Amino acid sequence: MALRNVFVLLELRIFRSHAEWISGCFCRVMRLELNMMQPDIPLTGMRTDVCLVVKDVSKRFGDRVAVDEVSFTVHRGEIYGLLGPNGAGKTTLLSMIAGILEPDSGEISIDGSDALDSRTRRKVGYCPQEAVVYNDLTGLENMMFYAGLHGLSGSDVKRRCRELLDQMGLGEYAGKKVKMYSGGMKKRLSFAITLIGDPELLLLDEPTTGMDPRIRRSVWESILRLKQEEKTIILATHYMEEADELSDRVAIMDLGRIVAEDSPESLKTRYGPKAVIDVEFSKPVEEPKPIVEEIKAYASEGGVIYRDGKLRVHVDNPDIVSPKIVSELVRIGAGLKTLKITMPTLEDVFLRLTGRRLTEE
């Protein structure tokens, strides 16, 4: 009896001193017992490498709903695109995943842990839409400053910072003050800073905005290299080419909600038109609206986009509709330069799902 009392007293002391540890042990024992009780279940066809889970997440700012009950899952080593116009809720969603904002409702977990947990946040690298860099420091000094915030220092870290600057095409500008950088260079510096802590999950918010096509392509190559290193990447963009080129899966966002999610090819097959007719005019069109209204009669579901002097028409039967469109354009006096039949893009998908263009204000 006395021996039993000693054990009881010992257990109480352990409980008081290490309640969290005992709770963890208890849970592990219970899981072990449950696993022993359950029959083996084959996992064929099931993915168990989940990195991020977003479940029924919402966020309001006053009366405005920025994110409205959004749910999705991202697997390790995947590039997951968030495609939508400005104001769709992409930045707010990334800020909640990064732990900067707290959801009003719903749950976000990274590797099974709460995204707001400080230990979990160390796994995340967030590259915001606006570059957060110090103009009076050089590019290398900015890198070293942020490395210090990660608790990193020494010659190895300085070498790592130079390597990242080289990868972003900024090596020759490492010693120049950032106030001399262009907007695109600052964006690339911000991207390099995001990689200093070697994060497992990267959140990239419009990473190539303001860059010329050549530099944009080089950043795309950097993103694909990170995928080869098995990094998990969430890419928020309003560039449909960027989402199409880089993403394994794309979630199309509009007005705070995900309206469709799948691989780019599957989205185009499921929601896009069967074909698209691109028309280029031989002279500037001063008032395109009457032309758009006339051509809508030949488009499937009224899908017509006019932009940058070109007309884009969604059609189901291009061989039949093309001659009619040419005749109509000749009739109304629109100078026709070229007409070609192409395949649908993610912008065509967005137009069909929302009735609006990706680039509408």
- Calculate mean pLDDT across residues 284-291: 87
d(CA 337, CA 113): 58
User: pLDDT tens for residues 172-215?
Assistant: 999 999 999 999 999 999 999 999 999 999 999 999 988 889 99
Give a three-class secondary structure readout of the chain: CHHHHHHHHHHHHHHHHCHHHHHHHHHHHHHHHHHHHCCCCCCCCCCCCEEEEEEEEEEEECCEEEEEEEEEEEECCCEEEEECCCCCCHHHHHHHHCCCCCCCEEEEEECCEECCCHHHHCCEEEECCCCCCCCCCEHHHHHHHHHHHCCCCCHHHHHHHHHHHHHCCCHHHCCCEHHHCCHHHHHHHHHHHHCCCCCCEEEEECCCCCCCHHHHHHHHHHHHHHHHCCCEEEEEECCHHHHHHHCCEEEEEECCEEEEEECHHHHHHHHCCCEEEEEEECCCCCCCHHHHHHHHHHCHHHCEEEECCEEEEEECCHHHHHHHHHHHHHHCCCCEEEEEEECCCHHHHHHHHHCCCCCCC
Phi and psi based region of residue 96 (left: phi greater than 0; alpha: psi -120 to 50; beta: remaining): alpha
Percent of the residues in the chain that have a pLDDT greater than 90, as a whole number: 69
* Average model confidence (pLDDT) across the chain: 86
Place of tokens 């209204």: 293
Type of residue at 68: D
Give the separation between CA 128 and CA 205, rounded to whole angstroms.
5
Task: Give the mean pLDDT of 44-57.
Answer: 78
pLDDT confidence tier of residue 32, bands split at 50, 70 and 90: very low
| 203-259 pLDDT, tens digit each | 999 999 888 899 999 999 999 999 999 999 999 999 999 999 999 999 999 999 999
Is the CB of residue 104 less than 8 Å from the CB of residue 58?
yes
- Residue carrying structure tokens 């449950």: 34
Q: In what order do the strands lie in the sheet with 304-307?
A: 304-307, 310-315, 275-281, 336-342
- pLDDT at residue number 360: 55
Percent of the chain past pLDDT 70, that is, above it, reads: 86
Q: Is 162 exposed, middle or buried (0-12, 13-18, 19+ CB in 10 A)?
A: middle
Which structural domains are found in the chain, ordered by start?
50-268 (3.40.50.300), 273-343 (3.30.70.1510)
Task: Measure the CA–CA gap between 329 and 334, rounded to whole angstroms.
Answer: 5
pLDDT at 305: 86
Partners of 310 in the beta sheet?
280, 307
Half-sphere exposure of 275 (CA within 13 A, CB side): 14
